[in-house]
């Protein structure tokens, strides 16, 4: 029932970090995989890596803030591969900034990428989803439900992403389309963690604050996505699923205090 051989998978923001790990895992399991992001170089590099895994791979360049570019890219993938069985939407931006120091445009940049971008992806893929049967997975973050200093933009945006998930579970259930969020904990070796835990001592304290005692890997998130994409998850929709070693149960350790102090040191 975990078989996704021959299925068509689109991973938006799939050209680095966690999402690329997801794309590679689906490719290794025999899916056709398409990826999309802003950088043509990153798209080309990822497509080559997926092909090296024996995958029939494709990609397109688009900024999720540009609804038309996303629509055109998704239509092109549909022309090539047919109906989409699985969509993983994970493009995001993050940087630490206290609210008092964050410009309107800085707040808007993250809202536009994470929240409006997710809406654009959802709108663009819906006509091309396999109905019934498709599985849509939004990549969220613990900031959606754990407030963190210096993350007001991310907290607001990712809370919105999870409400997109839950609302579309209602709207698309009748079409046989499931929509869920996966909430990664701290994932080692990623851009997101490099921005939030830049030093070895912070990395160590983050790992120690995870109840399971370690960072996650892109493979941990990929496994959850594989499950949600499979028939084993056939009755799961509208769920927001932490895949975080229990980190959120521990209030994400001292991450909020750390980010607050980090930014305060710089901005006074
Ligand atoms: N602190 C405060 N404000 C910041 C900032 C920081 N570290 N970095 C960017 N901003 C502000 C900018 O100053 C600008 O606001 P302004 O016009 O009032 O000066 C606004 O955010 C937009 O910045 P810009 O560089 O034009 O945005 P962009 O669209 O080129 O890039 C970002 C978007 C800022 C989110 C960029 O970091 C990005 O592309 N991130 C993708 C990768 C990533 O974040 N990965 C982790 C995922 S969890
Ligand atoms: P990452 O490596 O920076 O990946 C972000 C991806 O999104 C890249 O492929 C990037 O490619 C693309 N992207 C960024 N802005 C885009 C835009 N405007 N339009 C289209 N594509 C865009 O980040 P990551 O750390 O692996 O995080 C991946 C996801 O997991 C994010 O949703 C993040 O919020 C979530 N998450 C991460 C962690 C963590 O520990 N890292 C924890 C919790 C949640 P381009 O640069 O080519 O556009």
On whether residue 40 sits in a domain, the answer given is yes
| Confidence band for 71, pLDDT divided at 50, 70 and 90 | very high
Q: Whose CA is nearest to atom 1 of ligand 1?
A: 97
Q: Which ligand has the minimum distance to the alpha carbon of residue 185?
A: 2
Residue 126: pLDDT over 70: yes
Q: What is the pLDDT of residue 176?
A: 98
**Domain for residue 204, yes or no?**
no
Mean pLDDT, the chain, whole residue set: 97
> Is residue 234 in a domain?
yes
Ligand 2, residue 91: give the atom nearest the CA: 7
pTM of the model: 0.98
Ligand whose nearest atom lies closest to the CA of 186: 2
Domain membership flag for residue 258: no
User: Is 209 within the bounds of a domain?
Assistant: no
pLDDT band at 250 (very low <50, low <70, confident <90, very high): very high
Name the closest-CA residue to atom 48, ligand 2. Answer: 38
Q: Looking at ligand 2, which residue's alpha carbon is closest to its atom 21?
A: 37
Cα 103–184–1 angle (5° rounding)?
140
- Domain of residue 64 covers 8-192+216-245
The answer to whether residue 254 is domain-embedded is no
Q: State the pairing for strand pair 135-139/32-37.
A: unpaired
The pair of three-digit structure tokens given for residue 9, joined into one six-digit string: 């998978």
pLDDT given for residue 190 in this prediction: 98
Count the neighbouring beta carbons within 10 Å of the beta carbon of residue 160: 18
Mean pLDDT value across residues 183-201: 96
Looking at the predicted structure, is the pLDDT value of residue 268 above 70? Answer: no
| Neighbouring C-alpha atoms within 13 Å toward the C-beta of 110 | 23
pLDDT above 70 coverage of the chain, percent: 98
Calculate how far, in angstroms, residue 92's C-alpha sits from the geometric centre of ligand 2.
4
C-alpha torsion sign, points 151, 152, 154, 158? positive
Q: How many domains does the chain have?
A: 1
- The CATH number that applies at residue 43 is 3.40.50.720
- Asked if the structure places residue 268 within a domain, the reply is no
* Closest ligand by atom to 263 CA: 1
pLDDT of residue 3: 85
| pLDDT at residue 114 in the model | 99
pLDDT, tens only, 23-56: 999 999 999 999 999 999 999 999 999 999 999 9
User: Which atom in ligand 1 lies closest to the alpha carbon of residue 104?
Assistant: 18
Is residue 267 situated within a structural domain?
Answer: no
Q: Which of the listed residues 93, 142, 184, 185 should we mutate to test ligand 1's pocket, taking the one with most ligand atoms within 8 A of CB?
A: 93
Tell which atom from ligand 1 comes closest to the C-alpha of 92: 47
192 falls in which pLDDT band (50, 70, 90)?
A: very high
């Amino acid at each position: 029932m975990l078989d996704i051989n021959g299925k068509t998978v689109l991973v938006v923001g799939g050209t680095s970090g966690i999402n690329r790990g997801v794309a590679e895992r689906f490719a290794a399991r025999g899916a056709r995989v398409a990826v999309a992001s802003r950088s043509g170089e990153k798209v080309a590099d990822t497509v080559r890596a997926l092909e090296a895994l024996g995958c029939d791979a494709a990609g397109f360049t688009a900024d999720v803030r540009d609804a038309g570019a996303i629509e055109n890219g998704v239509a092109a993938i549909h022309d090539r591969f047919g109906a989409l069985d699985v969509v993983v939407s994970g493009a995001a931006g993050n940087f630490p900034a206290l609210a008092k120091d964050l410009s309107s445009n800085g707040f808007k940049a993250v809202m536009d990428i994470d929240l409006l971008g997710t809406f654009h992806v959802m709108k663009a893929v819906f006509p091309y989803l396999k109905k019934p049967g498709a599985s849509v997975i939004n990549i969220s973050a613990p900031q959606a439900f754990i407030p963190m200093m210096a993350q007001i933009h991310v907290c607001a945006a990712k809370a919105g992403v999870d409400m997109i998930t839950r609302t579309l579970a209602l709207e698309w259930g009748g079409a046989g389309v499931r929509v869920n969020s996966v909430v990664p904990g701290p994932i080692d070796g990623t851009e997101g963690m490099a921005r939030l835990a830049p030093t070895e001592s912070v990395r160590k304290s983050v790992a120690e604050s995870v109840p399971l005692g370690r960072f996650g890997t892109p493979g941990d998130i990929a496994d959850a996505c594989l499950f949600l994409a499979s028939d084993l998850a056939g009755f799961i929709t509208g769920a927001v699923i932490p895949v975080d070693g229990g980190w959120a149960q521990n209030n994400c350790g001292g991450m909020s205090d750390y980010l607050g102090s980090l930014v305060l040191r710089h901005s006074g």
